[in-house]
Amino acid sequence: MGALIDRIRRAVMNTGIRKKLLLIYCAAGLVPMGVIGSLMLYNTHRMLYGQYRGQLESENKRVHNIVFEVTYLVSNISNVLGYDSALNTLLSTSYESDGQVYEAYRAYPLLDSFAENYTELSSIRIYFNNPTMVSSGRFQYAGEEVQASEWYRLAKESSGEPIWICEKQENSQDNLFLVRKVPLYNRDFAVISIGISSNFLKLMINDEQTDTLLSLDEGEVFYAGNASYFGKPLPVSQTALSETRVRTLRDNGLLVGCSALQPVRSHQIIQVLTVDSHALGAVNRTMVLMMAIILFCILIPFVLIFLFTGSFGRRIAVIRGEMHKISEGNLDIIPLFDGTDELGLLFRDMQQTINNIQNLNRQLYENQLDRQRLMNQQRMIEFQMLANQINPHFLFNTLETIRMNASTHKDPDTAYIITQLGKMMRYSLQTKDQLVSLAQELAYTRSYLEIQHFRYREKISYEILVSDEITQDTYYLMPLLIQPLVENAISHGISPMDGPGFLLIHIEPVKDHLSIVIHDNGVGMDEGALQALRESVEAPEPEYTEDPVPTERHIGLRNVSSRIRLFYGREYGVDIESRPMEGTAVTLRLPLPRTDGPLEMEKEKEDERQ
């Protein structure tokens, strides 16, 4: 295994850079993207197809239930009429005049009641053979034409069970009827014919997304939302008709839901088909679009990598050729090389190296003394440049020397203040582009307060309160937010007052943000000065106006407020409250504690914006 890995490593190392880059792209880009793209296509196709199948199955069940309820209603009505003794008596009686017949019709309102109360029915008729009766309204004589019809023959030969037929009767536009033979008391019979309203079926069944087809006993379609299917065989196989499930017919691009129902008290079967002619096309179009996107995502980077590696390889070849000339002692290389990237800088460095070599070769033929003097002069310039640079470590070492000297001369206060000043300088230099912990920021502020206390003595005292809900070492914030506000409080609030001053820093979570309050008991300000200060802090640019508020206070507060809004967002910032001779409270509103550690501030800003 070790030998195989070693051979692979040597083969990779001996391969050109362009081939390496292309192989890396294929291994790290094409293969994962191909696998992910295939999984996405498979899952998307499965999801879309399953969604359409589910919708179609639900629609088929809905139509199935509607048709079943309608046929159940019609069957029950035929059952009521078939066993109605009043109707049987009406049809069996021999009448002496037409007036008696009409009077009997008017005395039997059940047919009209059914027709008026059930919108599912389009027609309801009784066909009789009684020669003493006359045709009128819903009672019709079974003449030769009626008796010759197929539906009448089926009803006549039956034993009285409901029979469903699909053919037009007389002037009716309905296609599905129930006919039923009714034995009469005079040993004759009549036939009940009840038609189902096509308008009712259209109102209840039609759907914008799918077409519904109904067929009786696997015959021709007797109802279709799309007229192109009417009167044609069902677009499914005989095997599919016997299965109550959703099937995909890929030959003609249809998604078809098939189910069958058997009306009550009947051996006949009504096939219910729900057809979606757009589903498979929509799924295929989505798949083609996703494939195009995936291919685009694969090919465009490949083309760019291919072009880049070609250009990169040619530039490497140019540098290699020039370096080969130099290795043979030929310092006459091409004067120009395209690009200012790393390769361009490398070539320029090589040119500079060659120029230096040529200069040195020329200087070898000059006076040795001049060359030595030139070298000495160069060394003197470098020494002066190094001597003129100020190293922060020099400052820290100098402060430490002064502190040690103060301690030696038994001046602990001076040594302590120098230590605090050193801490502040080190903090300012080390936290330029980093977030800092709350503990670090408070330590910096405490050093500043100690220096001010040393300066003003008993005039300044302070207290820092941090809620137990805040972990100071793991909450990170921008540096130099608290100290400028403390400096403002001392300079403009406590310093002008006659008596001793007190400054309180209180940090606690409030609702959806962190509150840092810097409160002093200084001179405060009136409402006009406070409003001017607030407007100045919120202003996008400094306002040079003559107001009671000092300009330095404007700049310091505006700087802190602007930094907070730019870094954390406009919902955070600075709030100011003040009353004359009672003091001023400045509140920083920051996000709630975060524990992601110190980050580069530019990177953090970009993350916050996204």
pTM value is 0.50
Residue 74 lies in a domain: yes
Domain that holds residue 457: 433-539+555-591
Please identify, among 247, 280, 313, the residue that sits at the C-terminal boundary of a domain.
Answer: 280
Q: How far apart are CA 588 and CA 572, in angstroms?
A: 8
Mean pLDDT, range 460-478, rounded to an integer: 91
Q: Is the pLDDT of residue 163 over 90?
A: yes
Instruction: Count CA within 13 A, CB hemisphere, residue 164.
Output: 27
The larger pLDDT score, comparing residue 404 to residue 346, is at 346
User: Using 50, 70 and 90 to split pLDDT, how confident is the model at 585?
Assistant: very high
> Given a cut of 70, is residue 51 above it in pLDDT?
yes
Per DSSP, which regions of 86-231 are E strands? 121-128, 139-141, 163-165, 177-183, 189-196, 211-216, 221-224
490: pLDDT strictly greater than 80: yes
Per-residue pLDDT tens digits for 279-319 = 888 888 999 999 999 888 888 888 888 888 888 788 888 88
pLDDT, mean of residues 2-9: 78
| Residues in Cβ contact with 127 at an 8 Å cutoff, skipping those fewer than 6 apart | 140, 141, 142, 146, 152, 190, 191, 192, 193
Counted domains in the chain: 2
Q: Using pLDDT thresholds of 50, 70 and 90, give the confidence band for residue 3.
A: confident
The per-residue pLDDT for 31 is: 83
Mean pLDDT throughout 29-58?
Answer: 87
Cα 73 to Cα 544: distance, rounded to the nearest angstrom: 89
Residue 386 has a CB neighbour count (10 Å cut-off) of: 9
Q: Where is 10: in which H helix or E strand?
A: helix 2-13
Can you spell out the DSSP letters for 528-556?
HHHHHHHHHHH-SS------SS-HHHHHH
Hey, what amino acid is at 159?
Answer: S
Q: How confident is the model at residue 346 (pLDDT cuts 50, 70, 90)?
A: confident
Can you tell me the mean pLDDT for 501-509?
94
pLDDT tens for each residue of 410-423: 667 777 777 777 77
Per residue in 367-426, pLDDT (tens digit) is: 665 556 434 533 443 344 333 334 454 455 556 666 666 666 666 777 777 777 777 777
More confident residue, 369 or 232: 232
The Cα 10–Cα 341 span in angstroms is: 29
DSSP for 55-115? HHHHHHHHHHHHHHHHHHHHHHHHHHHHT-HHHHHHHHPPPSSHHHHHHHHHT--HHHHHH
CB 554 within 8 A of CB 474: no
Encoding tokens for residue 518?
């810097």
pLDDT for 610 beyond 60 = no
42 close to 287: Cβ distance less than 8 angstroms: no
Identify which of 10-14, 249-253, 522-526, 550-554 has the greatest average pLDDT. 522-526
pLDDT band for position 545 (cuts 50, 70, 90): very low
141 falls within a domain: yes
Q: Is residue 46 part of a domain?
A: no
More confident residue, 415 or 474: 474
What does the pLDDT look like over 96-146, one tens digit per residue? 999 999 999 999 999 999 999 999 998 899 999 999 999 998 999 999 999
Those residues whose C-beta lies under 8 Å from the C-beta of residue 304, and which sit 6 or more positions away, are none
Q: Does pLDDT of 509 surpass 60?
A: yes
What percent of the chain shows pLDDT beyond 70?
82
State the DSSP code for 170: T
What's 185's domain CATH number? Answer: 3.30.450.20
pLDDT band at 547 (very low <50, low <70, confident <90, very high): very low
pLDDT of residue 241: 62
Residue at 470 is within a domain: yes
Q: Which of 510, 511, 509 is nearest to 470 (CA)?
A: 509
- Residue 67: CB partners within 8 Å, gap ≥ 6? 201, 205, 214, 261, 270, 272
The two structure tokens encoding residue 153: 């023959």
| Site of tokens 């195989």 | 4
What are the φ and ψ backbone dihedral angles of 272, each rounded to 5 degrees? -115, 120
Structure tokens at 596: 């992601």
- The β-bridge relationship of strands 583-590 and 513-520 is antiparallel
Look up the CATH number of the domain holding residue 566.
3.30.565.10
Say what the pLDDT of residue 391 is: 45
- Name the band, by pLDDT with cuts 50, 70 and 90, for residue 594: low
For residue 199, pLDDT beyond 90: no
Contact 287, 270 (CB under 8 A): no
Asked if the structure places residue 609 within a domain, the reply is no
Q: Does 126 reside within a domain?
A: yes
Spatial contact of 504 and 465, defined as CB atoms under 8 Å apart:
yes
What DSSP element (H or E) covers 585?
A: strand 583-590
User: Can you tell me the distance from the alpha carbon of 291 to that of 297, in angstroms, rounded to the nearest whole number?
Assistant: 10
Of 227, 250, 280, which one is at a domain's C-terminal end?
280
Output Rg (C-alpha) for the chain, integer angstroms: 49
Which tops the pLDDT comparison, 160 or 381?
A: 160
Report, as an integer, the average pLDDT of 525-545.
77
- 61's CB contacts (< 8 A; 6+ apart) are 259
Count the residues in the chain: 610
Asked if residue 29 is part of any domain, the answer here is no
Residues 67/266, Cβ–Cβ less than 8 Å: no
Q: Give the span between the Cα atoms of 331 and 112, in whole angstroms.
A: 116
> Is 505 or 359 the better-scoring residue by pLDDT?
505
Position with higher pLDDT, 170 vs 70: 70
Helices and strands in the chain, H and E counts: 20, 17
Helix (H) or strand (E) segment spanning residue 292: helix 279-327
Output the pLDDT for position 129: 92
579 in a structural domain: yes
Among candidate residues 241, 256, 280, the one where a domain is terminated: 280
